[in-house]
Each structure stands twice: as C-alpha cells, then as structure tokens.
Amino acid sequence: MSSNNTQTQEWQVLSRDHHLAPFSDFKQLKEKGPRIITHAKGVYLWDSEGNKILDGMAGLWCVAIGYGRDELADAASKQMRELPYYNLFFQTAHPPALQLAKAISEVAPDGMSHVFFTGSGSEGNDTVLRLVRHYWAIKGKPSKKVIISRMNGYHGSTVAGASLGGMTYMHEQGDLPIPGIVHIPQPYWFGEGGDMTPDEFGVWAAEQLEKKILEVGVDNVGAFIAEPIQGAGGVIVPPATYWPKIKEILARYDILFVADEVICGFGRTGEWFGSDFYGLKPDLMTIAKGLTSGYIPMGGVIVRDEVVKVLNEGGDFNHGFTYSGHPVAAAVGLENIRILRDEKIVERVKSETAPYLQNRLRELSDHPLVGEVRGVGMLGAIELVKDKARRERYVGKGAGMICRTFCFDNGLIMRAVGDTMIIAPPLVITLAEIDELVEKARKCLDLTLAELEK
C-alpha cells in the first residue's frame, strides 16, 4: 500500500480484502491499493490524502452538470419518501418515468418520442439488440438478425454490449462476440489512415459498411450501430467525409441505424445529441450517463415513431429490467434535464466553453510529444508520439500510462487509451477552469517527455 495516511490505509485494506474492481488487474490493485475519492464539488474531486483534482473526465463521461448539485439530491430524497420503488411491468407505470420519457422526447431529434428505460448503457444496448431483432421479426423478415458494429467501438460490458463493442481485449475473455454481430474498421485516421488523407480515409472507412452489408446480405442485416464520436476507443472524431458517406449508404439499404449516444448525448458535443451535431437520423438511440449526470444509474433507448408503430403490432416484448425507469432515477433524470435546459448549459457549451476548450487544447499541438490534438464540444484527445511527422509511437514505453500518472499526481484526471490522452470534463466547466486544465496538461506532457527521454 502506497499511503502513510491511516484512514487511506484502512480503506485500501477493505479494497484488498473484499472488493473486486471493474476493469482492473485484481492482483496488481491489491498490492498497490486504489486511490480513494471521498468528495466532490463542481469540477473538482478530493481524495483521502486531501489532494484536490480537476476531473477532466466528468467521472466516466457522465457528470454533465458537475458535482454537488443539491437539487438532484432533493429530487431523489423527495421521490424516495413518496414512492421509492415500483416497476413498469405488467401494465403499471408511475409519474416520474412517464414525465421523464416526455422530457427526453422534447430534447430528442424530431420523430423520436418514445423511450424504453434500462439501468445502464450496457443494458440499453442489450435492449437495442433485442428490439432490432423483434422489429424485423414483426415485419416478417426474421432473417435480418445481424448487427454491424465497428472495431474499437465501445457499447458496454454485458455480453451483448461487449459483443457489439469492438474491443478485442474484451472479446478475448469469454468467447465474444456472440454470433450475429460483425465488425468493420473504425474511422481512426491518426492511427490507421496510413498514406490516405483524412478525407480519403473517411470515405474508405464508410465504404466498409456497404462492403459488409453486401457480404452478409442485406436480407440478413438488421442494423448498424455506432457512436457518433467513439469515446472509450480514444475520442475518435471521424474525418469530415465519414458520416455523410455513411448516411448515403444507409439510405440505400433497408437496415436500422442505431446511434449509441451514451457519451455524446445530453450536450457533450454542444448539441443535445451527437446525431444532431452530425445531422444523422437514427432509428434508435442508446442513452445513459448524462441523462442523470451519473448521480444515479439509468439508461434507455429512444425509439423513432415509425419503429414504434411496427413494435405496437408485435404483441408482448418479452424484455425488461426490475429497475427499468426506477422512480428515484427518473426523478433525478427529470431534475437533471431541467437544470440542463433552464441554465442553458448545452447552449453555453456550444457558443462559449467548447470553442474556448478546443482552441486552448490545440495550443498543445506545438508540444514535441504531441502528434495530434482533436476534439468536438467537451471531448478532446491528445496523441502522444515520438515522431510527429511520421505519427510514430514510443514502442513499449507506456507513454499514456506515464502521462496519466503524472496528471493524477499533479491534480488532473486525464484518461489514457494506449498513448492517446483523452478528456471529457463536466459541461459546466468555466473558462478559468479550462485554463487550469490546459496548463496542467502541458506541465504533465513536459514531465512525460522528460521521463520518456531519460
């Protein structure tokens, strides 16, 4: 254990003796002990050692309105006293879920006015898989089962979520993907574009969708699922040609399009949804995270009216979760959306804070360690390289993890995806806090470079 603080040590012992942590090397964590986060306010976290840390990742991309908003705690407390639990099964409902479904439909793209609630984004994508297959079965085309997804996409950690995702290190554990899910290349120009220009590569990557539809046979393809901007894969902003070309292809074939908006939804791009940002017309949208600003677990699937019309003809949909539309989560979600709307947080991201963040982040492009800075809205990525011109990496050095550790030790959370540093701060971050984020990032890039060149 790394700490001398007895309180921290006590918690680390509890971790060692009783906890199995998500996405962690159990053995290594037992030896090292986790960093213990004790409280938070605005965009800042405090750990049990008393360090104040600027949370450049909004938790896990979710704390849109920032930490410490009493209104959400009050909404939860009021709902817990009134109706702490009831379910939406077997023809019952409760006001918070219904009111939240309406509030979501008001901010969703036109023609998407129904929501199926889940407890998380992963459950949302499990629901997507079942909804897509159910939809085609009702339409008399049960063979349209295959879902096309992308390599290095992230759609969650349940069996369906991890299968839809294209993370090979997840597939390796547990014989994934399950049958009926196929993957096409991702539009990651910096990492995989080779000698093509970004625009050429964007068209090429989009054409892989058409190629796959033809290979599988359109009679067998139910849907294409994609994040408007890949988050966990490394904030991969597709080249400008990518989405227009994908839209052209989708228009040619009778398949559903699912936008996984778990990260992009609820304002992160400066629009309410990533689909609004790119002018996409999804049939289904997976949501979670920003829906409740992470204060309480909740996810869902927003469904286009034409799809609902078909589903209405299909009898029972044999799917749902004990906590689908949980009243306390719904009350929190409703208050969260009220705050996003009343305080014009999404508008402010678009007009003021996102342009400022993107400009300031791009100043880091001049750093010798930085091969590319990209981003949209409150999403950003910094590629760490040895040679800028050739986009060449430091092989086997773990540059990303070194940088991530310097960040943590210097009061900033930036996540490392390989050697790509990523940020997604709370949407309420101020201009002064953006300055602090970028200055800390530069300092940590300096420290990382010095370490790599030792």
- Residues in contact with ligand PLP by the rule CB under 6 A: 60, 120-122, 125, 154-156, 161, 227, 231-232, 260, 262-263, 288, 299
Instruction: Tell me which amino acid residue 242 is.
Output: Y
Q: Burial level of 384, CB count in 10 A (0-12/13-18/19+)?
A: buried
Closer CB to ligand PLP, 291 or 445, in the complex: 291
Closer CB to ligand PLP, 205 or 263, in the complex: 263
How far apart are alpha carbons 313 and 53 in whole angstroms? 52
How far apart are alpha carbons 116 and 319 in whole angstroms? 10
How far apart are alpha carbons 22 and 29 in whole angstroms? 11
Q: Shortest Cβ distance from residue 49 to ligand PLP (Å)?
A: 27
Pairing between β-strand 284-287 and β-strand 420-423 as defined by DSSP bridges = unpaired
Terminal Cα distance for the chain, rounded: 27
How far apart are alpha carbons 27 and 373 in whole angstroms? 35
Q: Shortest Cβ distance from residue 207 to ligand PLP (Å)?
A: 23
Q: Shortest Cβ distance from residue 420 to ligand PLP (Å)?
A: 15
Q: In the bound complex, which residue of the shown chain has the CB atom lying closest to ligand PLP?
A: 121
Q: Shortest Cβ distance from residue 119 to ligand PLP (Å)?
A: 8
Which tokens belong to 32? 């090292």
Compute CA distances 338 → 120, 270, 319, 346, whole Å.
Answer: 21, 17, 29, 12
Closer CB to ligand PLP, 90 or 169, in the complex: 169
How many angstroms from the chain centroid is the CA of residue 236? 12
Closer CB to ligand PLP, 225 or 402, in the complex: 225
Q: Shortest Cβ distance from residue 256 to ligand PLP (Å)?
A: 17
Closer CB to ligand PLP, 154 or 243, in the complex: 154
Q: Shortest Cβ distance from residue 134 to ligand PLP (Å)?
A: 20
Closer CB to ligand PLP, 125 or 152, in the complex: 125
Which tokens belong to 339? 């705050």
